[in-house]
Amino acid sequence: MSQITTWLRDPNPTSRRQARLGQAFMAWLRMRRNPLAMVGLAIVAVLLVMAAFAPWLAPHDPITQDLSNRLLPPLTPGHLLGTDDFGRDILSRILYGSRITLFIIGLVAVTAPVFGLLVGTVAGYFGGWTDEILMRITDIFLAFPKLILALALVAVLGPGMENAILAIALTSWPPYARVARAETLTVRTSDYIAAVRLQGAGPARIILGHVMPMCLPSVIIRVTLDMAGVILIAAGLGFLGLGVQPPLPEWGAMISAGRKYLFEQWWVATMPGLAIFIVSLGFNLLGDGLRDVLDPRSAGR
């Protein structure tokens, strides 16, 4: 193990693979020194485990109703977190709901940042009227609060998981475009970009192969920090009945169903609310840690 560590710490790597693995190892060491970031990483890891092994971890079917066991309190034998108004096990529904939450997060994370990165790098690289048109479109989207714009889009498209994901993605790309444009403006006049241009590389190759990779660290940090907002918007749409539809166990819809029992059977709405709070906190803590790790200005601290 010590030999591997020495190899990774070598200040004079002999190959590109060794250099990349060494950078990743040093980033991990910096990440490990941040206890809050490790807490966030642990929460996200638990979310992944819950989503992956929900069929084996859930003690009951999340959809099957059992009216004879409705509104049982937490710590009831067989129902650790209690049951809802239809007798469904809340723990099982939270476990399966993590799959829906992770599915929404995943699809938004591979659509909105990619589109925003493309818009921002193209605007920043070409400048002029291209920059003006793309940034004014971005400003129009930024002028509306995310949740309000998502509500309007879902109202037009109709309720459902697919439309909710599409609405969230359409409202989430402008900040990534702004970040990518700012990064592009700082690197487009760099010497290595000029050298690549002199070698005959076209704009598409320069943007895709050289500018975008330089923007990725900032975009990754922004994605991680924005995941909490994505979770809250998805839960808000579910709470209003415009997102994932019953009987699927979506956390926002579970809170909506339990709000009428909030004072007497508090656990029906509180348990999924705690799940949203903990997962959102985990992504925020992880995003802060990644910002410290991936920011070149903090790499030497």
What integer pLDDT is reported at residue 296 of this predicted model? 52
The neighbouring-strand residues paired with 79 are 76
pLDDT in tens, 164-199: 899 999 889 999 999 999 989 888 888 888 888 888
* pTM, two decimal places: 0.87
C-alpha distances (whole Å) from 214 to each of 155, 288, 301 are 38, 19, 21
- The arithmetic mean of pLDDT across residues 15-38, rounded, is 84
pLDDT at residue 101 above 80? yes
Fold of the CATH domain 67-298: MetI-like fold (1.10.3720)
Sign of CA dihedral 44, 39, 215, 134: positive
pLDDT in tens, 203-242: 888 888 888 888 888 888 889 888 988 999 999 999 988 8
What integer pLDDT is reported at residue 16 of this predicted model? 78
What integer pLDDT is reported at residue 295 of this predicted model? 64
What integer pLDDT is reported at residue 301 of this predicted model? 44
Q: State both tokens at 231.
A: 């979770």
Angle at 274 between CA 268 and CA 277, to 5 degrees: 145
Helix (H) or strand (E) holding 186: helix 161-187
Q: Pick from 109, 80, 81: which is nearest to 222 by CA?
A: 109
